[in-house]
Structure 1
Amino acid sequence: MSFNEQFDQHGTWRREFALRLKSLAQWMKEHDLLNAAVEERLQRLESQVRADKVMVAFVAEFSRGKSELINAIFFAGYGRRIMPASAGRTTMCPTELGYDAAIVPCLRLLPIETRLQPQALMEWRLVPDKWLQIDLDVNDPAQLAQALQKVAEVQHVSLDGARALGFWNDNSPEDNPLAGSDGLIEVPKWRHALINIAHPLLKQGLVILDTPGLNAIGAEPELTVSLIPQAHAVVFILAADTGVTKSDLSIWREHLASGGEGSDTRLVVLNKIDTLWDALSTPEEVQAQIDRQRATSAEILGLPLSQVIPVSAQKGLVAKVTGDPGLLQASQLPALERVLGRGVMGQRQKILRTAVAAGIGELKNEAGRALNMRRRDQAEQMLELRGLKGKNISVIKHMRNRIEQEQAEFDSSGAKIHAVRSVHGALLGDLVNLLSVPTLKVELVELTTALKQPGIKLRLKKTYGQTFSRLREGLQKGQVLTGEIESMLESAFRQINAEFGFSLQVPQAPDMARWVQDLDLIERSHLQYLGLGNVIRLAQADFSERLVRALSNRLRVVFESALGEVELWNKSASAQLDAQLRERRRNFARRLEAVERIQQAASSLDERITEIDDQEIRLKGLEAKLAELTARLLDLRPLPFASQEPVVNPAAALAESA
């Protein structure tokens, strides 16, 4: 099964999941089993499942066949190359391919000169009039391919201009581009490209990130701080005839190596194996060369051999376009697609299923508490009504007075509930302040000041480490505060449960450890900018400003995410209390209504008892339906992605095809 086919199945699986989730939420709302907090969490889950994006980043030094590999995997259906993939440098700027139904099919290009301004890339995304927009005809492959040639455009600038734009580093002359006879330096014309087309895979949520070579990656902090670390899979391309070169190793060590954590999302493609196909060598000799390059590359990069996949992207594309199954098998492209599909879709399904399972668990608990409370209230009513059998009007009147007295006492106890809410609100305010954006800005002042200082920055690495230590301490303090809130709510809920017969339960508090891990990832992704190799680059005010903004934007996402979970957690506790207060008031109203009906006609006592019996049957039906709907969600099996098959001998497969 190709990557395209696996992604199609993933899209179908996701849509079915979202439909079942929405059906469950609607049913619960119709039967008044859904409080505001659980409804919001389910809406978030449904939105997450429906709008889930899967980003695959392709990273390589120039001339490794990266764009050709993207053509072979994703765009062979057009019957031609779509991404520019001629000899030499093609993709000169980072390029994102995705789909947004609110935007017409187009290519948007951000001029390279925006690097001279302090705004981060994320901020430029919000200023569409600064981008050059070229409309695309997705039904015309030739026009589409011609328009996308724009991402390969270059311009020539002076040495000072190249240095200011980040394409010339005096400290690493071996990495600098060659100057022309006129002394000018070739640089990309565009800083970033966004391609919006209704490709079937992109419509289903796939996002492809095509990155240029080492110089371009290092000069754009947002790539290594945000986009590449957040990709669900990173495909790193090497050339089979050269293996891991010095520049390849620089990209890997500085931007992709994860120190073991998350390394299973890194795939290395040993591309251009067709350059090793030699008519003077036997198929076994050709395969031995490929095996040696795989083993050597895996050892150098510190990866399992299974994550280094040999392919020929060019032959794979030709085979798909011409319908040549023998050549396709020899290219080994299907093996890469299977591994990529299993890794990306399997990981996303696991994440989504875990998130949904947690939400469903909370939902079942909340709905179960509501049903149990109704059942207990009905049992109390049944005892009351059975006790009225054979009793005179004065006894019935006395019961009405007792119910009204209970109702008055319940209403007068609002001060206790208010006190709980006040303490809860005060503690929550401290926690919200700790995780707020203004607090984050204060913590970043020292680092921001250090980065913006002119000239060489000597103590920057120490300041950087201290800043992240404080940020981690802030999240740890947040964990302590959530513990205090949790303890306070548990104590208060025990008292309220004992006094009013409620079944309040404190929801699971958010674990700040997940956001601490995000901080660790961000810290590691920035470290390559603080070494000796970037001393000159860091001395440039515009680069330091971009680095500050990229870092601030990424950290803000982390803290806003943590704050959102905390607020939803506290909303869950409050909504649970509101729901049980509301249910108790309804119970008082039902009891008074029953007594009033009995006072008016003695025969209605038996009718009311029968009604309560019927309500118990309905409650059992609701419980059964709830169990059925939640089971349908949790039993929606993950797709059976194929296990990795043995790597075939490409030369032998080609010979057999011939």
Structure 2
Amino acid sequence: MSNMEFKEQMHEYSLWRAKLIQGIEMYHQWRIRYDLNDSHSNNTILNVLSGLQSDRITLAFVAEFSRGKTELINSLFFAETGVRLLPSSAGRTTMSPTELYYDEEGGNYIRLLDIESRLEDVSMAEFKANTARWKQIDLDCNSPTQMQEAFKELVATKQVDRELADKLGLWNEKEAAEQGILNLVKVEIPCWRHALISFPHPLLKEGLTILDTPGLNALGAEPELTLSMLPSAQAVIFVIAADTGVTKSDMDMWRNHVCHARGGSKRGLAVVMNKIDSMWDDLAGDSGYQAAIKSQVETSATTLKIETSAIFPVSAKQALLAKVKGDKALLQRSRIDVLENYLAEGIVNQRRFILMETVTRDIGFLVNESLNLTESSLANGISQLEEFKKVDFQNQDMTGKLMAETRDRQNLYMANIENFQASRRVFTVQAKMLIDSFSKERIDTIIRNTKHDMEKSLTTYGMKQNIRKLFDDLRDLLQDSVDITNETRRLVKAIHKKFHDEYGFKEIEPQLFSIKQYQLELEQVFEEGENFRVSAKTTMTEQSVVINRLYSTLIAKARNILRQAHADATAWSASVLMPLMHQIKDHKKQIENRLQMLKKMNDSKGTVAENIATLEAEIEPLKKQRNELLMMLKTMQLSPSAEGKK
């Protein structure tokens, strides 16, 4: 498969996403047009749209030094520039995590964060929000040579005192002792901690983001990479070298950073065995070459405990050369096409599936509720028309009886309203208890107290104990919310059942709030942190600066989980009774329409046929409303529920 086909796959994905956005925007306008909108559904739809519009497919490339990872990125995505765009020549290797994407508003640039920022207690997300903290180099996208020169800054290094390198987590006493260089006064370190690159490459414009990470030492010193950035990527491409196989440092990175970042799942995880050109042997011939590759793939698969189909043997160097020269035979021999096929078919389609699952989860309930209400209104209108066709409207007694029955329904509706308002008041009190259990004040108090204890105990052991205490306290906080959640769920079910049993409302299974997912996520964060701490032990030599950064990263993740729980509980509380409100509102509308029609028929001087024609005309807007919604469902690629199709 050629790189052009990969671009076409990304382009198709971009068009699909644009069509989905258009369908949701049309649905949003439909709800407003027919007075079915409310603040919660409005916010829900706008949040879904915002997520779709900012969606990116992130591919993270991870490898130890000198595995040809950056060359692989060049050959996969930037060969059409005709140059080795990202620095990947011998002796020049990625020193800092680098993100490549397209920032339409910000323009074309390289932003570089100084390595000394590691000493600050500030998350990477906060640094990214503050552009003033970054050194910016503007890029001339019409000059690949200027871009190539600018990108050399990514591998810049400088000499600093050993004490500073130690504080930054960039000096390993054990490794230095093994190499016999303990007496160094100055240490060479990277100039930059993180790099952000924006330029309008076709793939980046379609929504692709590339994360190029440095070796094991950097992963050990940057918890946010392993705990936040790698888990959020749609795919992680782990690069090993064919000439060395899986080394000890490869295995450390694979076990402690790559696999853990995927939560133990092999989904969206591929291994690239690069540098197969080092195995080319004219004497052994093609069959010997193929056998050598197969043997190395099988050995690597056994070591990494994955299927051989998840390993892609390639020569990134020869692939780049073949693309620049237009050499099809060399391109085929590089085997890059198999990897590109995996990225196009596997990762892009997988992202489409996940995105569709998210849309269905977030607004599927709203769409099906809309369809149920629309179908109910139309069915009621048709039933009323059939009933009126059989009525003798010249008979005043019969007309009066129908109007009296309808007014009785109106009185019952008023009783429904009073009962609903009473139920909602009870629910509001209970819901506030649920929301308050996740309050920012409660969470911040726990974090503040733990932070205070941590500052008093600067030993590594003391800091580790405080991390454990923090998560124990947060577990207790969530446990307190469990009982409140269960009581709130019981109340919601009782309210829905009451209106179904006593007033004949359509039975709708309410969406129930669950606390389980937040508990699981919090436990996972704690496990991630503990595994990271253990895995990073030899790399960071138990340095307090790294432990402190690990603590800050864990706090940020835990706070985000609980902030999300608070936001979700608030949104759920505001929305869970909405289906009942919509049914009550629709019921009122149906009664008012019935009274209006009866009065019109009673007062009309026309013939029965003319009156029936008038009634039939009243049905047409309902049909139009229903058909518009079905058309939008098709545009959004959402299937009506079985309930909605009846």
TM-score of the pair, normalised by structure 1: 0.86
Of 18-27 and 91-100, deviating more is 18-27
Shift, 1:554, TM fit = 1.9
1:549 aligns with 2:556: no
- Give the equivalent residue in structure 1 for 2:420: 417
Alpha-carbon distance change, 552 to 623 in structure 1, aligned in 2, over 3 angstroms = same
Q: Secondary structure at the match of 1:523?
A: helix
Q: Which moved more, 1:148-157 or 1:408-417?
A: 408-417
Note the residue ranges of structure 2 that are not aligned, 5 or more in a row.
640-646
Question: Relative to structure 1, is the Cα distance of residues 614 and 218 closer, same or farther in structure 2, using a 3 angstrom cutoff?
Answer: same
- 1:163 is aligned, of 153, 163, 166, to 166
Residue 247, structure 1, aligned to residue 249, structure 2: yes
Question: AA paired with 1:273?
Answer: I
2:395 alignment counterpart = 391
The 8 Å contact of residues 538 and 544 in structure 1, kept in 2 or not, is answered as no
* Cα contact 2:20–2:635 (8 A) shared by 1: no
The reply on whether 1:135 has 2:138 as its aligned counterpart is yes
Structure 1, unpaired ranges of 5+: 637-658
State how far apart, in whole Å, the 2-side matches of 1:41 and 1:633 are: 15
Give me the whole-angstrom Cα distance separating, in 2, the residues matched to 1:508 and 1:168. Answer: 53
2:7 aligns to what SS in structure 1? helix
- In structure 2, the residue matched to 1:301 is 304
Change (3 A) 1:395 1:275: closer
Offset from partner CA, 1:482-516 (integer Å, 9 cap, x none): 44433322321232344444326243335544444
Following superposition, the deviation at residue 399 of structure 1 comes to 5.9
**Aligned in 2, Cα 1:578/1:490: closer, same or farther, shift over 3 Å?**
same
Q: CA–CA distance in 1 between the matches of 2:300 and 2:371?
A: 55
1:105, 1:138 within 8 Å by CA — same for their partners in 2? yes
Amino acid at match of 1:391: N
Say if 2:273 and 2:311, in contact at 8 Å, map to a contact too: yes
Q: Is contact 2:416–2:503 with CA below 8 Å preserved after alignment? A: no
Q: What's the CA shift for 1:437?
A: 3.4
1:558 and 1:177 map into 2 onto residues whose CA distance is 46
Q: Over the residues paired in the alignment, what is the CA RMSD in angstroms? A: 3.3
Matches within 5 A, 1:369-448: 369-375=372-378, 377-378=380-381, 379=383, 383=387, 387=391, 389-392=393-396, 403=406, 406-407=409-410, 410-411=413-414, 414-444=417-447, 448=451
Structure 1 residue aligned with 2:223 = 221
Per-residue CA deviations over 1:518-539 (Å, capped at 9, x if unaligned) read 3344333322343386399586
2:93 aligned partner? 90
Q: Find 1:154's aligned residue among 154, 157, 162.
A: 157
The one-letter amino acid of 2:198's match is N
In the superposition, relative to structure 1, how do residues 175 and 433 fare at CA in structure 2: closer, same or farther (>3 Å)?
Answer: farther
Aligned position for 1:643: none
The one-letter amino acid of 1:389's match is F
Q: Which residue does 1:200 correspond to in 2?
A: 202
Equivalent pairs counted in the alignment come to 634
Deviations 1:226-272 (A, max 9, x none): 10121111111112111122222221222112388322322111111
Task: State the alpha-carbon separation in 1 of the partners of residues 607 and 490 from structure 2.
Answer: 47
SS at match of 2:552: helix
In 2, Cα distance between equivalents of 1:325 and 1:177: 49
Structure 1 Cα separation of the partners of residues 536 and 403 of structure 2? 84
- AA partner of residue 163 (structure 2): D
Q: Which residue of 2 aligns with 1:285?
A: 288
User: Contact 1:98–1:195 (CA<8 Å) still a contact in 2?
Assistant: yes
Provide the rounded CA distance (Å) in 2 between the counterparts of 1:175 and 1:412: 84
Query: Over residues 366-397 of structure 1, what are the superposed CA-to-partner deviations in whole Å (9 max), with x where a residue is unaligned?
Result: 123312442465345875796562333x7756
Q: 1:624: how far off?
A: 4.6
Counting aligned pairs with the same residue, the percent is 32
Q: 1:364 to 1:264 in 2, by over 3 A?
A: closer
Q: Distance in 1 between matches of 2:414 and 2:506?
A: 18
Name the SS for the 1:110 alignment partner: strand
Q: 1:177 to 1:494 in 2, by over 3 A?
A: farther
3-state SS in 2 of match to 1:155: strand
2:643 aligned residue: none
Instruction: Decide whether aligned partners of structure 1 residues 619 and 406 sit closer, same or farther in structure 2, where only a CA change above 3 A counts.
Output: closer
- Tell whether 2:614 aligns with 1:611: yes
For residues 450 and 296 of structure 2, what CA distance do their matches in structure 1 show? 43
Equivalent of 1:46 in 34, 45, 49: 49
Q: CA deviation at 1:459?
A: 6.1
Gap change, CA 1:516 and 1:140, over 3 Å in 2: farther
TM-score using structure 2 length? 0.88
Counterpart among 553, 559, 562 of residue 559 in structure 1 = 562
Contact persistence 1:168–1:177 (CA under 8 A): no
Question: Which of 166, 186, 189 is residue 187 of structure 1 equivalent to?
Answer: 189
Partner residue, 1:271: 274
Q: 1:635 to 1:174 in 2, by over 3 A?
A: farther
- In 2, the alpha carbon distance for the partners of 1:63 and 1:419 equals 69
Residue 82 of structure 1 deviates from its aligned partner by: 1.1
1:213 CA drift (Å): 1.3
Label 1:480 to 1:340 Cα distance change in 2 as closer, same or farther (>3 A): farther
Distance in 1, Cα, partners of 2:491 & 2:95: 57
Q: Which residue in 1 is equivalent to 2:576?
A: 573
1:268 to 1:580, Cα distance in 2 relative to 1, 3 A: same
1 CA distance for matches of 2:219 and 2:566? 31
